Amino acid sequence: MKLCRFTLTNRPDEPRTGVYHEGKVYETDGQSAAGIHEPANITFIAPIGTPPAVRLFDQFDADGGYFLSYFFMNPAQLKGTNESLSMPPQVEELGIEIRIAGVLQDGDQLIEPQEAEKYILGYTVMLCFVDRTLQAEAENHPAIWTESHDIGALLSPFIVTPEEMSAHLIRETKSGFNWVYSIFVNEKPIVEERQFAFDVEFYDLIQRASLRSPLATGEVIAFPSLPIPDFTATELGRELEPGDRVRVVVDGLGAVSSIIG
C-alpha cells in the first residue's frame, strides 16, 4: 500500500489520511473508509506528522575503511513535497542529499535484525538540504556534521509498505534493496535511472539505532545518501541557486520536489 496524508482543496486546514491506489486516494479514519478523492482535488502533505526523532545514518572514513553511525535532525524541519524550507542567509554553498528512510510503526530497544520486520511501517524518500561549506569542515571537526544538516528535508507523498517493495529486493532478507533513481534540476536530467544498492540493510540500521536508547513509534531512520554527482560536471554546469526546482524520482517510492528559496 501507499499510505498518504492530504488536504482537500476546499478545506486546506484539515489534514486527512488515506491510501493511494490506481490513481485515486481512498480516505480512511484509521479503521474504515471515509471517501474517495481525485488527485486534482487534493494537496498531498508530508505522509507523517512531526516524528519523535529523525536519525540519519552515514558512513565515515576510518583507518582505510569506514564505520557506520547516525546523527539526529530537527524533526520540525521535516516537510512535505513542494512545501517551502527557509534557506538561512548564512548558507553560501547549498547541497542536497537523497535518502531512503523507513518509518517505524512500533518501538523497542536492542532490536535484532531478524526481529526488525514487525517494526517497519514503510519507506519514503527524503530530499535533504545541506550546508556544503560546513559539511566540508566536518572532516576536521565532526561535531559540525549535525549543524550542516539543520536546514531540513522534504518527504515524498507516500509511505510505501514493505510488501509493495518486494520487486526491489536483492537479498534473501527483506530489507536489502536495489534503488533506481533520477534527479532533475529545472527539468534538466542530472541523473537518469541510476541503480545503487547499499551494503548495509535497513534491519541492520534498526539494530544499530536501538543499541543505546529505545526507538519510538513514528521515528524516521534514513539510509546514507544515495550517490550524487558534482552538479558542475553535469548538464546543469553549476551549483544549485535560489529559484532552481529540484525533483527526485525513486522507482517504487515516488517523487519529491522543491523550489530553492
pLDDT of residue 175: 92
Neighbours of 176 (CB within 10 A): 18
pLDDT of residue 88: 82
For position 80, which CATH number holds?
A: 3.90.850.10
What digits encode the pLDDT tens for the residues 108-153?
Answer: 999 999 999 999 999 999 999 999 888 888 777 777 878 888 899 9
| Low-confidence spans in the chain with pLDDT less than 50 | none
Residue in 146, 122, 256 with CA at minimum distance from that of residue 202: 122
30 to 3, 5, 19, 27: CA distances (angstroms): 11, 12, 11, 9
pLDDT of residue 62: 67
pLDDT of residue 29: 80
Residues 125 and 21 occupy one common structural domain: no
Amino acid at 80: G
Q: Per the structure, how many domains does the chain have?
A: 2
Residues 161 and 217 occupy one common structural domain: yes
Burial 114-127 (b: 16+ CB within 10 A, else e): eebeebbbbbbbbb
Residues 41 and 53 occupy one common structural domain: no
What digits encode the pLDDT tens for the residues 30-48?
Answer: 777 788 999 999 999 999 9
Q: Which domain holds residue 245?
A: 48-259
Residues 243 and 169 occupy one common structural domain: yes
Residues 109 and 232 occupy one common structural domain: yes
Residue in 100, 71, 78 with CA at minimum distance from that of residue 175: 100
Residues 19 and 112 occupy one common structural domain: no
- 240 neighbors 232 (Cβ within 8 angstroms): no
Residues 2 and 105 occupy one common structural domain: no
For position 35, which CATH number holds?
A: 2.30.30.370
Residues 11 and 85 occupy one common structural domain: no
pLDDT of residue 113: 92
pLDDT of residue 140: 74
pLDDT of residue 121: 97
Residues 1 and 65 occupy one common structural domain: no
Q: What is the DSSP letter of 168?
A: G
Residues 147 and 236 occupy one common structural domain: yes
Residues 87 and 25 occupy one common structural domain: no
- 88 neighbors 219 (Cβ within 8 angstroms): no
pLDDT of residue 65: 65
Residues 174 and 193 occupy one common structural domain: yes
